[in-house]
């Protein structure tokens, strides 16, 4: 027994410690190895997840590019194609449904570098409900990679006239306004292009020292740049020149260091704005069933004054109906457009909120009453047979103006008594008959005031801006004004002529805000070549015109201070005319909660 105990005690030493240590280290190594395998697997999973996350957004951008290419190929695409079954498109109208575009209803593979179907996908839905009012198509695009989906919503907008501070088709004047015996042609840098037919090319109008343009400018014609400061892009389909400048100054291009004018494609203005009148049919369900419904139609000389308090006043002596009907010869007079008695009298006071995101259209008096279903309810002779045309626009023969007080009678600063406006004169010194300047049957609009609603005012003939035209303080970016005069948009500048002297009725300096367009004419100042220095014409918005209009000549008229309203880059005035063919651009985009899961079900 003693030997057994001694034997047991003889093993009470360190001989088992090494084995225990080895076993312990092995366990630790196994744990570390297992941990590293776990971390490696987790890292691989996370790496794949990160890759899917990035690829899903890349697929969404590919989908957006696909939609953009389709609307650029067919400028009517946004109004025709879509799927109302998708939640984002609910309430929209797509007469051609989805066409052959599967992306409206299911996942479409993004092509890989070889053109074959790749491993990421996209789908999209469209909201065109505000396209007419604001020129914006909202596109919801979802990209998919693996089981990951990501969604962005983008605003897609046509590159229209209101995207430029200044746009012209021709850089020469409108002979109907200037009085020149000439023809317009697209010129080259030496102005050697001639129209033929025995007439000379119309005179070019130059940019000169003192002109400041703070916004993008563009023309289909060659620009004669003899000076001036350009703070944004300068683009022309033909180029720019200083050929024949006198005096010649070095222009300042400030868009970025080393910037020079760019050569771009051309845009074509619409030949007519009559599509605006088509929005006045109260029995057209396509118009009445959608917001904002019909606009307001006025006939003959019409005066609109914005009051800046949610109201505007409208006078329109010849108007007999403010909406039309396709199914009958009779019109209607919705309250939002004013009572006829008020329109023909002292004026109707209207709520601008009822016409927000809508269109006002001023038409020429119809040439005849028509017959049957084509009878025009605004043919004035049919109701007021004693009207003394063309010297009066009311039924009373004693009224000798256009029914709105034009031509003007008033005071001239510094002189006693009252004076009557003389016939306006073109740059050649030729008087313009009042029957042309203020024709009593013309669809002329006379506008001024402070604007507090997004609205477009279109006139079949001239628009006269009779005073400052500005936005109210603190207006929203989406509150944008459109002014369209098919034959001209003019800054009203009446004069009294006595021999070789001209006297202005109005104070110096004018301010105009809004997107201004004359698709067949020009933006100009009445009597711009007379009356001495009139100060500065400040424009905050955009100017688009078929022919370039002058605002001064020599020491007469206005200097330009034109600044682009950046709101117009995102918002287009309601139902504002667009180029015949244009390109669509993404103006904003934002990521939102995924709209679909990987299986294609809406979330």
Whether the per-residue pLDDT at 19 is higher than 80: the answer is no
φ/ψ region of 482 (left if φ > 0, alpha if ψ in -120 to 50, else beta) reads beta
What percentage of the chain carries pLDDT values higher than 70? 88
Question: How many other C-beta atoms are found inside a 10 Å radius of the C-beta of residue 347?
Answer: 18
| Residues 77 and 95 reside in one and the same domain | yes
Report d(CA 102, CA 464) in Å as an integer: 50
Stretch 10-36: mean pLDDT? 47
Residue 593 lies in a domain: no
Tens-place pLDDT, residues 247-305: 899 999 999 888 999 999 999 999 999 999 999 999 988 888 888 999 999 999 999 99
| Residues 54 and 155 reside in one and the same domain | yes
DSSP string, 119-158: EEEEEEEEE-TTHHHHS-EEEEEEEEETTEEEEEEEEEEE
In terms of C-beta distances under 8 Å and separation of at least 24 residues, what long-range contacts does 375-382 make, across chains too? 375/329, 376/329, 377/320, 377/321, 377/324, 377/329, 377/330, 377/331, 378/297, 378/299, 378/318, 378/319, 378/320, 378/321, 378/331, 380/299, 380/300, 380/318, 380/320
| Residues 91 and 195 reside in one and the same domain | no
Residue 247 lies in a domain: yes
| Residues 167 and 248 reside in one and the same domain | yes
pTM score, whole prediction = 0.83
- DSSP letter, residue 345: T
Q: Give the range of the structural domain holding residue 216, as residue numbers without chain letter.
A: 162-263
Mean of the per-residue pLDDT values of the chain? 87
Predicted confidence band at 118 (pLDDT cuts at 50, 70, 90)? confident
| Residues 64 and 122 reside in one and the same domain | yes
CB of 145 within 8 A of CB of 52?
yes
Distances (CA, A) of 150 to 60, 199, 260, 585: 7, 62, 40, 22
- Segment among 45-49, 414-418, 492-496, 520-524 with least mean pLDDT: 45-49
Residue 498 lies in a domain: no
More confident residue, 374 or 359: 359
CB of 318 within 8 A of CB of 361?
no
Stretch 201-219: mean pLDDT? 90
| Residues 221 and 252 reside in one and the same domain | yes
Name the nearest CA neighbour of 67 among 141, 11, 150, 162. 141
Predicted confidence band at 3 (pLDDT cuts at 50, 70, 90)? very low
C-alpha radius of gyration, the chain, whole number:
34
Q: Cα 522 from chain centroid?
A: 18
Whether the per-residue pLDDT at 87 is higher than 60: the answer is yes
Distances (CA, A) of 503 to 392, 418, 534: 26, 12, 11
Residue 599 lies in a domain: no
Distances (CA, A) of 393 to 112, 308, 403, 442, 484: 69, 29, 5, 10, 23
Residue located via tokens 């022919």: 547
Tens-place pLDDT, residues 454-495: 999 999 999 999 999 999 999 999 999 999 999 999 999 999
Residue 508 lies in a domain: no
Q: How many domains does the chain have?
A: 2
Q: Provide the pLDDT for residue 24.
A: 52
Q: Report H helices in 381-455.
A: 434-437
- DSSP letter, residue 463: E
| Residues 250 and 180 reside in one and the same domain | yes
| Residues 79 and 149 reside in one and the same domain | yes
| Residue that finishes a domain, picked among 247, 263, 279 | 263
Please give the helix or strand (H or E) that residue 29 lies within, else none: helix 17-73
| Residue that finishes a domain, picked among 263, 284, 300 | 263
- DSSP letter, residue 65: H
Tens-place pLDDT, residues 361-379: 999 988 776 666 566 788 8
Whether the per-residue pLDDT at 335 is higher than 50: the answer is yes
């Amino acid at each position: 027994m003693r030997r057994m105990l001694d034997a047991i005690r003889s093993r009470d030493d360190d001989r088992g410690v090494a084995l225990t240590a080895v076993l312990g280290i092995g366990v630790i190594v196994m744990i570390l190895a297992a941990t590293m395998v776990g971390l490696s697997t987790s890292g691989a999973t996370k790496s794949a997840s990160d890759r899917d996350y990035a690829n899903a957004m890349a697929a969404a951008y590919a989908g957006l590019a696909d939609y953009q290419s389709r609307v650029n190929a067919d400028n009517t695409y946004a109004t025709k194609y879509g799927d109302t079954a998708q939640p984002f498109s609910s309430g929209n109208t797509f007469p051609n449904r989805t066409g052959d575009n599967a992306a409206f209803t299911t996942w479409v593979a993004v092509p890989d570098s070889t053109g074959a179907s790749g491993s990421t996908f996209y789908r999209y839905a469209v909201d065109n409900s505000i396209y007419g009012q604001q020129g914006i198509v909202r596109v919801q695009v979802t990209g998919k990679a693996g089981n990951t989906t990501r969604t962005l919503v983008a605003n897609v907008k046509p590159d229209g006239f209101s995207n430029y501070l200044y746009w012209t088709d021709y850089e020469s004047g409108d002979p109907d306004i200037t009085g020149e015996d000439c023809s317009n042609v697209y010129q080259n840098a030496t102005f050697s292009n001639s129209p033929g037919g025995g007439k000379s090319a119309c005179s070019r109008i130059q940019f000169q020292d003192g002109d400041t343009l703070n916004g993008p400018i563009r023309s289909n014609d060659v620009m004669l740049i003899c000076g001036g400061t350009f703070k944004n892009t300068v683009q022309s389909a033909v180029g720019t020149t200083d050929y024949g400048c006198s005096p010649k100054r070095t222009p300042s291009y400030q868009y970025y260091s080393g910037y020079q004018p760019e050569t771009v494609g051309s845009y074509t203005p619409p030949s007519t704005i009559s599509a605006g009148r088509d929005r006045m049919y109260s029995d057209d369900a396509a118009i009445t069933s959608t917001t904002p419904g019909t606009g307001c139609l006025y006939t003959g000389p019409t005066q609109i004054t914005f009051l800046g308090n949610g109201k505007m006043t409208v006078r329109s002596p010849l108007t007999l109906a403010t909406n039309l009907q396709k199914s009958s010869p009779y019109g209607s007079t919705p309250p939002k457009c004013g009572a006829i008695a008020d329109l023909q009298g002292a004026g109707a006071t209207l709520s601008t909120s009822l016409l927000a995101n809508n269109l006002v259209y001023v038409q020429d008096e119809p040439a005849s009453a028509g017959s049957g279903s084509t009878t025009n309810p605004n043919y004035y002779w049919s109701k007021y047979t004693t009207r003394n045309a063309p010297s009066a626009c009311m039924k009373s023969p004693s009224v000798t103006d256009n029914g709105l007080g034009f031509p003007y009678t008033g005071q001239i600063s510094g002189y006693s008594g009252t004076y009557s406006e003389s016939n306006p004169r073109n740059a050649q010194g030729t008087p313009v008959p009042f029957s042309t300047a203020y024709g009593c049957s013309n669809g002329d609009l006379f506008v001024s005031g402070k604007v507090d609603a997004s609205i477009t005012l279109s006139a079949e003939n001239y628009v006269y801006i009779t005073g400052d035209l500005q936005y109210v303080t603190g207006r929203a970016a989406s509150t944008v004004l459109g002014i369209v005069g098919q034959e001209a948009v003019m800054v009203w500048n009446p004069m009294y002529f006595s021999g070789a002297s001209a006297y202005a009725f109005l104070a110096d300096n004018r301010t105009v805000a809004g997107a201004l367009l004359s698709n067949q004419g020009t933006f100009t100042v009445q009597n711009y070549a007379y009356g001495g220095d009139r100060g500065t014409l400040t424009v905050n918005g955009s100017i688009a015109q078929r022919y370039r209009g002058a605002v001064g000549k020599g020491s007469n008229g206005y200097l330009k201070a034109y600044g682009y309203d950046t709101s117009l880059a995102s918002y287009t005035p309601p139902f504002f005319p667009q180029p015949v063919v244009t390109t669509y651009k993404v103006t904003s985009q934002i990521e939102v909660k995924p709209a679909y899961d990987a299986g294609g079900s809406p979330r």
